[in-house]
Amino acid sequence: MSLDLTLCPDCGAPAEVEWRAVMESTDGPVEHARVRCLRGHWYLLPVASLAGPGCRLAQSPTSFRE
C-alpha cells in the first residue's frame, strides 16, 4: 500500500490520502478520498478535485519543506 499524497485544499500543505471510497451522488457514483494535511485539516473530497498524482508534488519534493 503506497502513501498517497495530495495538497490540502485549505492551506496548501502536503496532505495524506487516508482512504478512498466510492459514494453515490446525484450524478452517479463518485470516488471520494479522505485527506488529512500536516496542519490537521481534513476533508472528504471527490478524487477528481484533488491535486493528482504526478502533479507538482511528485516533481518538487523540496516543496515539502517550509
Residue 36 binding Zn ion, by CB under 5 A: no
Residue 34 binding Zn ion, by CB under 5 A: no
Given the complex with Zn ion, which of 25 and 56 has the nearer CB atom? 56
Question: In the set 20, 34, 36, 41, which binds Zn ion (CB under 5 A)?
Answer: 41
Q: Which of residues 9-28 bind Zn ion (CB under 5 A)?
A: 10-11, 13
Label each residue of the chain as H, E or C.
CCCCEEECCCCCCEEEEEEEEEEEECCEEEEEEEEEECCCCEEEEEHHHCCCCCCHHHHCHHHHCC
Question: In the set 7, 37, 50, 51, which binds Zn ion (CB under 5 A)?
Answer: 37
Question: Which residues would be at the binding site for Zn ion (CB under 5 A)?
Answer: 8, 10-11, 13, 37, 39, 41
